Chains A and B, each alone.
Chain A
Amino acid sequence: MTLVEVRNAQKRFRNTRALDGVDLTLRSGEILGIAGPNGAGKSTLTRVLSGEENLDSGEILVDGEVLSELHISELVAVVHQEPQVWLNLTVAQNLVVGNEDTKFRLPTISIEQSKVLERIGIAHLAGTPLAECSLAVRQRVEIARALVRDSRVLLFDEPNSALTDDESQALFQFMHELADTGHVVALVTHRLAELVEHCNRVIVIRDGRVATELTGELLTETAIAEELVAGQQHEAKSREAASSFLSEQEPVVATHEWSDAQGAFLDISLEVAPGEIVVIVGVEGSGGREIVAALGGMRPSHGEIQVREISSGSGQHTKIAYLSADRREMLFHNMTVADNLVSRLGSPLIANQFGWLRRRNIRVEASSLVERYSVRTDGVEQMLTSLSGGNQQKVAIAAAMASNPSLLLVEEPTRGVDVGSKRDIYQMLREYADDGRAVVAFCTEAPEAFELADRVMVIQRGVCRDILRPGDYPDIQSFASALAKLELINVTVHSSHKSAVLDAPIIPNERKDPA
């Protein structure tokens, strides 16, 4: 019997409170579900629970004893979305690393360790290099490592986002087994259906606090969905007028039977009119993210795609600008706010025809962008790193908008951003679309899609499952439950095709492909 208690946990990163007084109890024998919107503090909580991150204040007790981070990390193991294992070693060697039990001799796998491999069903792959194994096998290796180290607490962080249905089912079955054998098991996921199906208890984290705890009869998808979106105010929107004129104009981007070269999505037909924001919604691995990246030219694709350039007014014009989900991938931390804002521009805006930099133009242009998009800064000549996360995000989006793309592509526009900045960012994107440009965004959260979109395209396993118009729904709750229902259908339909899950190592696609 193990009992983990978190008391008044507080954690702050530079400008944001990630955890703002979390109280939480985990017991062995049950599966605890952890849900929450992006940026609510879920991942910080996981890192704190696993000892990867220190708390600013508050404590973690295991069986009534206060433990240091070091002890916690021995006791708690995380199973990541992307397993943290060694691809250059075999399955067996992966188990041995760090648990060698030898000083000079070449370490080999012990009897207990091979028993663990047998228990989780990958003993026949012991000698296979992990690079040749499927993601599911890699994940099991990570679980096996936790078991070998005798971890009593296992945190599953979005564990099945990239697994097939059969692999997911097997994983959940194993999670139940772990709980039954006295382990503490926690599951962090976005998928409401799975939380309801597999968890005994679900907590919803919002703004760094535990907003609610749901058990028994109260634990339903609708209840979780409502809790996820509660506390976010919404203003009445006037998009009725917009949607009527939309269809009459020639689309900015039109695709027809358009597919990803690596099979992430298939036969997508999408038209986006000037002034329209289309949000693509899908869970991780659904192909939604890849659609946006491929539209941005960051992934190879085939099929029909046409992008029309809208030129209006003066200044620089580009066809397409793309923003990835990861802020670190979009910004230059070695440069000032001003330099970041103009980083996508060129001659004649920030340099003359000989390439001579126009410093004054940069300052003027940057200042006007800062003002227009209400970036909070003490001056454009500050380093980018002095801004809060939300304001850095605004800088990234403003920098893309500065190049006047006809089609603006954004992945998760408000990931890891505070509520105030979120609203600013929605407004930025709306105003940009209202200028007669097209915006396509990928979102994982129902409230964001509701807030932002004229149309929502729901992607599942690489195909368009449905198109929703947020304008057809009276409020966010009904929209969120409509989305959740779409997901529910998916979950109940899935077991139609059975295949052997872990019979042979699956060689990744890129290896098979001679090109």
Chain B
Amino acid sequence: MAPITGEQPGTRKRGLALDQLRTAGLVLAIILSGLVFQSQTSSFFSSENLLTLLRSMSSLGIMAFAQMLVILLGEIDLSVGAIYGLAATTVAVLWLGGGALPFHVPLVIALIAAFLVAIAIGAANAFLTSVVKIPSFIATLGFLSLAQGSELLLSNASTFNPAYNTPLPSSGELRFFHLLGGSQLPFGIPIQVGWLAAMLGFFWVLRHRTLFGFRLVAIGGNSTAAEIGRLPIRRYKFVVFILSAVMAALAGILDFSYVGSVGPNSGGSLVFPVIAAVVIGGASLNGGWGTIPGTLLGAALLAVLANGLALLGVGAFAQLLFVGFVTIGAVTLDRVTRQLANKRASRVAQ
């Protein structure tokens, strides 16, 4: 076959240009919806509201960062919402007593136990996916149900409130628990915003600055090539699924601490926004594509919409409609741009 020499400008750095375009589009969408809400309510851009907004996206963001790594590998974790609820309930039942257990333990031990449960579920998800080779969609769907069921059995579907519990926990424990997710940093910044920033830093470094992140992109982009190149696929899957489960547990416990109480099935509706944030942020469900800044922006867009619509007094049910529209719209738009870019590139090449 005869080679055609010369440059093909259309294909140059195609992936990078698309990424930048997407990031710019997301930032624009966030600013635009902010301006719309501001014009309607005039309180959207107040510093108070912006802090509220950031706090409200904290658990979504933390879970989405880890979910992005799962999706980067070409897998999916549907069990995060259930783990969120199970972790909070485990802490509540073990620490406060009641529920299905006849005893209770100090807070620290309850917290450790909750994270161990999350690690076990994450490891089980990874085991089923990478060793038994069940599709992660099914394996984690199974653990969604298993975790939800365990939560309800453990708690007898009751609500826990540490501050009004009998017997009342020690004031030191109460203070420490409140500190986790309900306290404030200097300048009135909610501590959950601090958690979000810390996790953003952690996951950004992990994804964009380490060998681990580099190999995740490779494994997700072409698992056969990764196998031929002897990359540690199985180990990476374990780490990523465990990270996803642990972040879900962290988010659940922080929200429990912030709200001050936890009821049955508290994380049930979280799995959709988490995956939506990742996908809006430009990750491909086929694996190999996805960035932490993109995921942050995806989560931010969803949080802005939820916050603004709440300010406008649109009910929670209508908000669901909006989130659905935005998710489908963003991904459709992304698909269309990608196709256009591809078409242009191949035209230039000819």
Determine which of A16, A331, A420 lies in contact with B225 in the assembled complex, contact meaning CB atoms within 8 Å.
A331
Q: In chain B, what residue has the closest Cβ to A344?
A: B229
Complex interface: chain A residues within 8 A of B228 (CB): 296, 298, 322-324, 329-330
Determine which of A322, A343, A344, A351 lies in contact with B210 in the assembled complex, contact meaning CB atoms within 8 Å.
A351
Q: In the assembly, what is the distance between CA of A334 and CA of B286, in Å?
A: 11
Determine which of A329, A332, A418, A419 lies in contact with B288 in the assembled complex, contact meaning CB atoms within 8 Å.
A332
A357 proximal to B (CB < 8 A): yes
A390 touches B11 (CB 8 A): no
Complex interface: chain A residues within 8 A of B346 (CB): 14
A388 proximal to B (CB < 8 A): yes
When each residue 25-62 of chain A gets 1 if its CB lies under 8 Å from chain B and 0 otherwise, what string results?
00000000000000111000000000000000000000
Complex interface: chain A residues within 8 A of B289 (CB): 334
Determine which of B4, B213, B221 lies in contact with A333 in the assembled complex, contact meaning CB atoms within 8 Å.
B221
Of B12-20, B136-144, B174-182, the one contacting chain A is B12-20
Complex interface: chain A residues within 8 A of B14 (CB): 383, 385-386
> Which of A388, A390, A416 neighbours the largest number of chain B CB atoms within 10 Å of its CB?
A388
B3 proximal to A (CB < 8 A): yes
Give the contacts of B1-53 with A (CB-CB under 8 A): 1-4, 7-8, 11-16
User: A356 with B209: in contact, given A16-B2, A334-B288 (CB under 8 Å)?
Assistant: yes
A41 touches B1 (CB 8 A): yes
User: A343 with B2: in contact, given A332-B218, A333-B222, A386-B11 (CB under 8 Å)?
Assistant: no
Q: In chain A, what residue has the closest Cβ to B5?
A: A376
A388 touches B3 (CB 8 A): yes
Q: In the assembly, what is the distance between CA of A40 and CA of B11, in Å?
A: 25
When each residue 352-378 of chain A gets 1 if its CB lies under 8 Å from chain B and 0 otherwise, what string results?
000111000000000000000000001
When each residue 261-292 of chain B gets 1 if its CB lies under 8 Å from chain A and 0 otherwise, what string results?
00000000000000000000000000011000
Q: In the assembly, what is the distance between CA of A323 and CA of B229, in Å?
A: 8
B110 proximal to A (CB < 8 A): no
Determine which of A207, A328, A335, A350 lies in contact with B217 in the assembled complex, contact meaning CB atoms within 8 Å.
A335
Interface residues on A, range: 35 or more
Q: Name the distance in Å between A380's Cβ and chain B's nearest Cβ.
A: 11
A12 touches B350 (CB 8 A): yes
User: A357 with B213: in contact, given A334-B15, A385-B14 (CB under 8 Å)?
Assistant: yes
B1 touches A386 (CB 8 A): no
B349 proximal to A (CB < 8 A): yes
Give the contacts of A474-490 with B (CB-CB under 8 A): none
Give the contacts of B175-231 with A (CB-CB under 8 A): 209-215, 217-218, 220-222, 224-225, 228-231
B4 touches A335 (CB 8 A): no
Complex interface: chain A residues within 8 A of B218 (CB): 332, 335, 339, 343
Q: In the assembly, what is the distance between CA of A251 and CA of B12, in Å?
A: 45
User: A330 with B3: in contact, given A355-B210, A356-B210, A357-B214 (CB under 8 Å)?
Assistant: no
- The interface residues of chain A, by DSSP majority, are classed as loop
A15 touches B15 (CB 8 A): no
Q: In the assembly, what is the distance between CA of A345 and CA of B346, in Å?
A: 32
Q: Name the distance in Å between B11's Cβ and chain A's nearest Cβ.
A: 4
When each residue 313-336 of chain A gets 1 if its CB lies under 8 Å from chain B and 0 otherwise, what string results?
000001000111000111111111
A385 touches B11 (CB 8 A): yes
Complex interface: chain B residues within 8 A of A303 (CB): none
A16 touches B3 (CB 8 A): yes
A17 proximal to B (CB < 8 A): yes
User: A17 with B1: in contact, given A331-B225, A333-B222, A386-B12 (CB under 8 Å)?
Assistant: yes
B3 touches A390 (CB 8 A): yes
Q: Name the distance in Å between B209's Cβ and chain A's nearest Cβ.
A: 5
Complex interface: chain A residues within 8 A of B210 (CB): 351, 355-357
A381 proximal to B (CB < 8 A): yes
Q: Name the distance in Å between A11's Cβ and chain B's nearest Cβ.
A: 10
B225 touches A418 (CB 8 A): no
B288 touches A208 (CB 8 A): no
B2 touches A399 (CB 8 A): no
A189 proximal to B (CB < 8 A): no
Q: In the assembly, what is the distance between CA of A502 and CA of B15, in Å?
A: 52
A331 touches B1 (CB 8 A): no
Count B-side interface residues using an 8 Å CB cutoff.
Answer: 35
Complex interface: chain B residues within 8 A of A41 (CB): 1
A329 touches B211 (CB 8 A): no
A381 touches B11 (CB 8 A): no
Determine which of A15, A386, A421 lies in contact with B4 in the assembled complex, contact meaning CB atoms within 8 Å.
A15
Q: In chain A, what residue has the closest Cβ to B288?
A: A334
A17 touches B4 (CB 8 A): yes
Q: In chain B, what residue has the closest Cβ to A39?
A: B1
Complex interface: chain A residues within 8 A of B215 (CB): 343
A382 proximal to B (CB < 8 A): yes
A347 proximal to B (CB < 8 A): yes
When each residue 202-240 of chain A gets 1 if its CB lies under 8 Å from chain B and 0 otherwise, what string results?
000001100000000000000000000000000000000
Q: In the assembly, what is the distance between CA of A485 and CA of B12, in Å?
A: 49
Complex interface: chain B residues within 8 A of A418 (CB): 1-3
A420 touches B222 (CB 8 A): no
Q: In the assembly, what is the distance between CA of A419 and CA of B346, in Å?
A: 23
A346 proximal to B (CB < 8 A): yes
B15 touches A17 (CB 8 A): no
Q: In the assembly, what is the distance between CA of A421 and CA of B5, in Å?
A: 12
Q: Name the distance in Å between B349's Cβ and chain A's nearest Cβ.
A: 5
Complex interface: chain A residues within 8 A of B288 (CB): 332-334
Complex interface: chain B residues within 8 A of A390 (CB): 3
A166 proximal to B (CB < 8 A): no
Complex interface: chain B residues within 8 A of A329 (CB): 222, 224-225, 228
A18 proximal to B (CB < 8 A): yes
Q: Name the distance in Å between B69's Cβ and chain A's nearest Cβ.
A: 14
Complex interface: chain B residues within 8 A of A40 (CB): 1
Q: In chain B, what residue has the closest Cβ to A18?
A: B1
Complex interface: chain B residues within 8 A of A416 (CB): 1
Q: In the assembly, what is the distance between CA of A332 and CA of B344, in Å?
A: 22
Q: In the assembly, what is the distance between CA of A383 and CA of B217, in Å?
A: 14
Determine which of A207, A322, A335, A383 lies in contact with B2 in the assembled complex, contact meaning CB atoms within 8 Å.
A207
Q: In the assembly, what is the distance between CA of A109 and CA of B85, in Å?
A: 55
Q: In chain B, what residue has the closest Cβ to A347?
A: B211
When each residue 227-251 of chain B gets 1 if its CB lies under 8 Å from chain A and 0 otherwise, what string results?
0111100000000000000000000
A20 proximal to B (CB < 8 A): yes
Q: In chain B, what residue has the closest Cβ to A389?
A: B1
Determine which of B1, B209, B217, B229 lies in contact with A16 in the assembled complex, contact meaning CB atoms within 8 Å.
B1
- Contacts from A to B (Cβ < 8 Å): 12, 14-18, 20, 39-41, 207-208, 296, 298, 318, 322-324, 328-336, 339, 343-344, 346-347, 350-351, 355-357, 378, 381-383, 385-386, 388, 390, 399-400, 416-421
- Contacts from B to A (Cβ < 8 Å): 1-4, 7-8, 11-16, 209-215, 217-218, 220-222, 224-225, 228-231, 288-289, 346, 349-350
12 further contact pairs, Cβ within 8 A, besides A296-B228, A355-B211: A17-B4, A18-B1, A41-B1, A333-B221, A334-B222, A335-B217, A335-B221, A343-B231, A344-B231, A382-B11, A386-B12, A388-B3
- What are the 9 tightest A-B residue pairs by CB atom distance, in nearest-first order? A351-B211, A386-B11, A334-B288, A334-B221, A16-B1, A332-B221, A418-B3, A329-B224, A344-B229
Q: List 16 A-B contacts (CB under 8 A).
A: A14-B346, A17-B1, A207-B2, A208-B2, A296-B228, A323-B228, A329-B222, A332-B225, A333-B288, A339-B214, A350-B211, A351-B214, A382-B12, A385-B11, A386-B13, A400-B229
